[in-house]
A and B are shown apart, each in its own frame.
Chain A
C-alpha cells in the first residue's frame, strides 16, 4: 500500500496538537500583585546561589526548578488561606522567579574570561594580552588575582555590560511586540507550541480550587523521582565534598568514558556514557522518531563511518591509540567533523527556507479567500502599546547598540554593523517569528555568520571576537507574548514586573557570584564540571579567535571546502531521499543531528523515549500520556532542583565558615 504524503507543516502541527489540550481565553487580568513580586524575589534570590554553584559542579544549573518551587509555595499558601491563586498570577510568578534565579548567570562570562586570560592556551596563542579591557581586567590585576568582582578593576566590563543590557531590553521588548502584532494579530498564525507553556501555570492554579486534579498527583510523582535522583547525582558529591578533598561520586560526573575500550574495533570512534539520567524525562517529552533516528545515526557514525571509512581513507588522520573522548572529539573535529558540521548547518537553512517560503505563498492565497485575517485591532483590555512608540524604542535601542559596538571596536567597518542592525536583524526576526507561529520552532539560521563577516570585512584584530554584533533574532520571543495572551495576562503587567525586578537582580546577581568565586577558584576540584570542561573550552576558544588572524591557523586549515560541501550536500541528499520515500521529515532532524555525535550522550534520552513509547503510552493511552508529560517533567525538575539547592546550601555554608589549615 502506498504511503500517504504529509506536508512538513501538517506533520509538525500534528505533533504540537498532541500536547495542546485546551484552547485560549478571552478575558485579561493583571498578573502583577505585591505578593507575586515579593514571592518571586524571595524564592529567586534564595535559589540563585545554588543555581550558579550547581552549574559549575554538574553543568546543569537546576534553575528550571525555582519557578515551580515558587508556584508551589504560592499555591499552598493560597490553599491554607482559603483563597485561590489565579493563573495570571502563577504565570507571572513563573516568569519573575525564572528571571531572579537566572540573574547570577548573566555575569558568568566575567568568571570565564578571568580564568581564560591566565590560561596557558591564551598565552601560547598570543591572545592573552589582546583581550580588551571592556571584557575583563588584565590577567595580573588585583580584581582577577584576588577573585573579587566588587573591585574597581571590574568597573569598565560591568559598566559596558549594563549599558548593553539596558539597550537590549529596549530592543527586545519593542521588536518582539511589533512582530507579535504582525504575526498573531494581523496574520492570525496559530503558535502551536505556546499552549504547552501555558499549561504549567494552569496545572497548579487548579490545585487552589475546590477539586484536586490529576495534575497535582503527576507533579508530585515527578518531584519524588527528582528528589531521589538529585540526591544520588548531586547531593552525595556536594555533601561529601564538604568533608573530603575528593568528593564521592556514585555516578561519575559528567560521563563514564568508554572511548579507549572501543578503540580496538572502532578506532576514532567515541563513546562516553552521560550519567545525567534526568535526561530520560526529555526522552519522554521529545518526539520518539527524533530521539531514535538521532541515536541510530550517532551509532552508525562512531562504529561504522568514523572507523571503517573516514579512518581507513586517512581523512581522520590525527587519531592515535589511548586518547580519551575529549581528545578524540577534538582531533576528529579538526580533521573532518567541524567542516562537515558547518555544511550540515547550512543545509538546515536551505531546508528551513524551502519549507517556509512556499508557506508564505499559501498564506497569501488563503488570506484572500478566507477574509478573516488582516485586522490589526487588538482584543480589548489586553494592555497593548502604541506601535509607533515601540518602533521608536527599537530604533533608539538599536542605534545606541551600534554606537556602543563602534566605540568598542572603532576600526571595524561601520557599514557591516549598520547592515546587520537594520537589514539582517529585522528580516531574520520576521522569518523566525513566522516559523514559530506556524511550526513552533526556528528553522532559519545562517551558521558561522560572524566568521563569514570577519573574513569579508578583512578585519584581523582579535578584539572583534569579544564584541557583540547586532545580528539578533527576536522572533523566538514572540511566542511568550502569545503565552501571555493564552493565560489572559495583560501585557502591561508583564512589562511592569520585568522592569521593576531588573535593578534588584542586577545588583544581587553580581554580589552572589562574587561570593561564590571567593569560596574557591573556578575551575578547581570543588567544581568538577568546570574543571573537566573549561580547559578544553579554552583551547577551542583560542582556535576560533585566532582562526582568521594569520591565514595559517589550525582552525582555518581545519575548515576544508570539500568537507563542508560533503556535510551540506549529504544532508540535502538525506532530506531529499526522505521526502522521495514519503518518510517523516522529522527523521531528517534526528539523522542529521545524530551524525558525528556521541551516542553515549543520548542513552538516557533514548531510554526515556523507549519507555514512553512502548510502555507509558500503552499504559495510559496516547492523549493522557501527552497530558502528563510536561507536568511530570516540571515535577522532576522541581525535585532535582530542591535537593540540589538543599545540599548546595549546606555545602556553601560549611565552606564559608571552615578555614582549612592548608
Chain B
C-alpha cells in the first residue's frame, strides 16, 4: 500500500508539472492532477494510520 500511494503521488506530481509547463496551466488538467494527488495522499494516510492495527491482526 505504501508503494502504491507513493506511485500515485509521483504520477500526480508529474501530471501537474506537465500541465503547467506544456499545457499552459489549464485549470482542468491541473485539477485532474489534484484529484490524482488527493487519492495518493488519502491512500498514504490510510496506510499510515491503519498499518499497526493491520499488522497486529496478522
Contact = CB atoms under 8 A, between A and B. Distances in A.
Contacts of A584: none
A358 B38 contact: no
Nearest to B44: A579
A362 B38 contact: no
A577 interface: yes
Contact of B27 (A9, A366, A562, A577): A562
A115 B22 CA distance: 49
Interface in B18-58: 20, 25-27, 30-31, 33-34, 37-38, 40-42, 44-46, 48-50, 53
A362 B45 contact: no
A569 B30 contact: yes
B55 to A, nearest CB: 13
Interface stretch (A132-140, A349-357, A394-402): A349-357
A536 to B, nearest CB: 29
Contacts of A413: none
B34 A7 contact: no
A561 interface: yes
B28 to A, nearest CB: 8
B10 interface: yes
B46 A572 contact: no
Given A8-B48, A358-B45, A358-B48, A562 B25 contact: yes
Contacts of B40: 576
Interface in A348-384: 350-351, 354-355, 357-359, 361-362, 365-366
B33 A580 contact: no
A151 interface: no
A5 B37 contact: no
Given A8-B48, A362-B49, A569-B33, A354 B9 contact: no
Contacts of B26: 562
Contact of A7 (B30, B37, B42, B49): B49
A577 B20 contact: no
A568 B34 contact: yes
Given A365-B53, A561-B27, A569-B33, A354 B16 contact: no
A572 B12 contact: yes
A447 interface: no
A566 B9 contact: no
A350 B45 CA distance: 12
A565 B13 contact: no
Contact of A577 (B9, B34, B38): B9
A359 B20 CA distance: 34
B48 A569 contact: no
A575 B12 CA distance: 12
Contact of B41 (A351, A361, A562): A351
Interface string A564-604: 11101110110111011000000000000000000000000
A396 to B, nearest CB: 39
A9 B17 CA distance: 30
Given A354-B41, A572-B12, A572-B38, A566 B20 contact: yes
Interface in A1-32: 5, 7-9
Given A562-B27, A577-B9, A580-B6, A366 B53 contact: yes
Contacts of A350: 38, 41
Interface of B: 2, 5-6, 9-10, 12-13, 16-17, 20, 25-27, 30-31, 33-34, 37-38, 40-42, 44-46, 48-50, 53
11 contacts: A358-B45, A365-B53, A565-B34, A569-B30, A573-B13, A573-B16, A575-B41, A576-B44, A577-B13, A579-B6, A580-B9
Interface of A: 5, 7-9, 350-351, 354-355, 357-359, 361-362, 365-366, 561-562, 564-566, 568-570, 572-573, 575-577, 579-580
Given A8-B48, A358-B48, A358-B50, 16 more contacts: A354-B38, A358-B45, A358-B49, A362-B50, A561-B27, A565-B27, A566-B20, A566-B25, A568-B30, A569-B16, A572-B37, A572-B38, A573-B12, A576-B37, A580-B9, A580-B10
